[in-house]
Chains A and B, each alone.
Chain A
Amino acid sequence: MPRWGMVIDLDKCTACQACTVACRVENNVSFAGPDEYRRGRAIFWNTVVGVMEGEFPEVRAEYIPMPCMHCDNPPCVKVCPVGATYRDAEGVVKQLYDRCIGCRLCMQACPYNRRYFNWQVPEWPGTFTAYRNPDREPQPRPKGIVEKCTFCEQRLRKAREEGRPIGSDDAEGVVPACVETCTGGARYFGDLDNPDSIVSRLSRSPRAYRLQEELGTEPKVYYLRPGQWEKES
């Protein structure tokens, strides 16, 4: 049984946000529009968070792409009153859209704020309908429930059905949309329990770390620290 995980090399990430766009299209994440975005109601299964360090001119910007951390000890799963979110046998944290009651306790519980609520009826106004593929899984979620990154569960399922390899180790391997699209090749996906896989090897790198490790949530998304840069005089 694999234990899916992801590694993101921050030295290769250019913060182009192609991962965010690919994720939205792949997973039929609803359109929010500039007004609702400003009001903080847009949904981003994947997002790129900017962190500024230091003061001008000695400033360093770091961009951290954030999918769901798919914790091995997920606080969101613990608190769900109806079992609408769960960690499947392969370690992926999933959401049952037709069971969720919309209490949003899981969103409070997630220390990474990686869960999103459908504050309104999902819509694709005007030409944006072109970005919505009605045939593709997963279907848009109705208003009033919580949704989140699933490591593109539909891709993994299809790959298994068709007997294709999964993970970054194989050139033909099926990977989540954000990994496939990454322009800098910064993202890797695969089985953390296979000691020879790329993600497993990278997760043991001295550069590897996870977000808020001290909370004991055991995330399965690893980051590779950016290298030390010297300011040229």
Chain B
Amino acid sequence: MIKQRQQRPVVDPRLIQPILRTGGAYYLLVALLAAVVAAGLYVWIRQIRLGLAVTGMNTPVYWGLYITNFVFFIGVSHAGTLISAILRVTGAEWRRPITRAAEAITVFALIVGGSQVIIDMGRPDRVLNLIRYGRFQSPLLWDVTSITIYLLGSITYLYLPLMPDMAILRDSLPTEAPGWRRRLYRLLALGWHGGAEQRRRLERAIAVMAVLIIPIAVSVHTVVSWIFAMTLRPMWHSTIFGPYFVIGAIYSGIATLLIAMVIIRKAFHLEAYLKPLHFRYLGILLLTFSALWFYFTSAEYLTTGYGGVPPEMRVLNAKLSGEYQAAFWGMVAAMSIAFVVLLLPHLPAPGRIRLPAFRPRFAAATGVAALLVAVLIFNQAGLVTVLTN
């Protein structure tokens, strides 16, 4: 028998509150989202019946919104596990309140992103052919493998630190709580009692996972980019695509995390835990990655533009002054605004004029802008298909 610990941990009731009480707004939201899912299911069935023509795709726009969504959500998934693991490995203690939200975003975004590929398939009923006849020479198989490992790894990485929390819930549930909940938490806590040996082992497991998950996360978005880069399409067939996608993924991931934090903070009254400090630090990370994005984009466009190879110039001109100029310059504008908003508070202010840019409200606005930017970027990556002859 495992001996129950004598002293129960003192838990802030605000942290358990959302688990115990469910408001009307929650059910309304669930109903709303269920309606969206039902509508999506209806049009998917229609697409299966009539064919992919209903999406508006054609020759040579072989891929469209589904693959864009796939890239976008796999990118967003980098918010979580990767950031949380890097912060953990580097010993950034301020990370603690945000890691759970970050890791949960990863798992959910991966599920959404992965399902996009199934929806995009002409014959989703043949998805098991990927296992029966899978060829590792194909970049698509790299994707299947790498995303599966990342999903399983992320679930593990989310679950490990969750174990002691499940034990807290198990031990501090009020007596009137339904029995299935008690059983669920007992099951998920896996007999956690917080002994020294248990703690040592869990710490070790988390530390190992944190180190392992970083190369896996980097490989995931690199491999996503390789689906494009391994073809001979002008401006896709480029060595910059791997790191470019990883940078973009982390950038949009941080933005998503910021938005999620604002919502969680407000909805669950966690102002004491998600402090302005967290928004400020994540803001600096976002700033860094937008600078990196600028650097990568400049490197890519200058190299292409200076070389002036006609097939590549057709793609570049489509972005700069052609069909996709609205998307491209919209991206530049949104990114510049986000950059300035993030940078201002760090500049030595003349007199006392300082913009309160790191209040959560402003951080949220920045996050939205950055997210918008990421959407625009991936729209381009997904949709620009130019004939090579």
Residues in B whose Cβ lies below 8 Å from that of A41: 53, 58-59
A103 touches B389 (CB 8 A): no
Residues in B whose Cβ lies below 8 Å from that of A143: 51-52, 122
One of B130-138, B157-165, B366-374 contacting the partner: B130-138
Contact with B along A36-51 (1 / 0, CB 8 A): 1001111000000100
B137 touches A78 (CB 8 A): yes
Interchain CB contact (< 8 A) of B134 among A36, A79, A81, A103: A81
CA distance A104 to B389 in the complex (A): 19
Please tell me if B4 contacts chain A, counting CB pairs below 8 Å.
no
Contact with B along A136-159 (1 / 0, CB 8 A): 000000011110000000000000
Within 8 A of A (CB), among B51-69: 51-53, 56-63
CA distance A146 to B58 in the complex (A): 12
Interchain CB contact (< 8 A) of B62 among A80, A82, A117, A212: A117
* Given A118-B122, A119-B58: A79 in contact with B231 (beta carbons within 8 A): yes
* Given A104-B62, A116-B59: A144 in contact with B51 (beta carbons within 8 A): yes
Residues in A whose Cβ lies below 8 Å from that of B117: 103
Within 8 A of A (CB), among B125-151: 126-127, 129-130, 132-135, 137-141, 144
B130 touches A101 (CB 8 A): yes
B122 touches A81 (CB 8 A): no
A108 touches B62 (CB 8 A): yes
Interchain CB contact (< 8 A) of A103 among B51, B57, B122: B122
CA distance A111 to B60 in the complex (A): 11
* Given A101-B126, A101-B127: A119 in contact with B57 (beta carbons within 8 A): yes
How many chain B residues sit at the interface, stated as a range, is 35 or more
A81 touches B51 (CB 8 A): no
A112 touches B53 (CB 8 A): no
Within 8 A of B (CB), among A130-188: 143-146
Residues in B whose Cβ lies below 8 Å from that of A83: 133, 135
B388 touches A105 (CB 8 A): no
CA distance A83 to B60 in the complex (A): 22
Contact with B along A70-86 (1 / 0, CB 8 A): 00000100111111100
Residues in A whose Cβ lies below 8 Å from that of B126: 82, 99-102
CA distance A85 to B262 in the complex (A): 49
B122 touches A79 (CB 8 A): no
Please tell me if A113 contacts chain B, counting CB pairs below 8 Å.
yes
A118 touches B51 (CB 8 A): yes
Please tell me if A121 contacts chain B, counting CB pairs below 8 Å.
yes
Instruction: Give chain B nearest CB distance to A199 CB in angstroms.
Output: 23
Residues in A whose Cβ lies below 8 Å from that of B120: 103
Residues in B whose Cβ lies below 8 Å from that of A109: 230-232
CA distance A78 to B140 in the complex (A): 11
Residues in A whose Cβ lies below 8 Å from that of B228: 108
Please tell me if B263 contacts chain A, counting CB pairs below 8 Å.
no
A100 touches B137 (CB 8 A): no
* Given A75-B231, A109-B232, A113-B387: A99 in contact with B133 (beta carbons within 8 A): yes
Task: Please give the residue numbers on chain A whose beta carbons come within 8 Å of chain B beta carbons, in ascending order.
Answer: 36, 39-42, 49, 75, 78-84, 99-105, 107-109, 111-113, 116-121, 143-146, 211-212, 215
A selection of 11 A-B contacts at a CB cut-off of 8 Å is A36-B53, A41-B58, A79-B140, A82-B138, A100-B122, A104-B122, A107-B59, A113-B60, A118-B51, A120-B53, A144-B52
By Cβ-Cβ distance, the 9 closest A-B pairs, closest first, are A102-B122, A144-B122, A40-B58, A81-B140, A120-B51, A119-B53, A143-B51, A81-B138, A120-B53
Task: Please give the residue numbers on chain B whose beta carbons come within 8 Å of chain A beta carbons, in ascending order.
Answer: 50-53, 56-63, 117, 120-123, 126-127, 129-130, 132-135, 137-141, 144, 227-228, 230-233, 385, 387-389
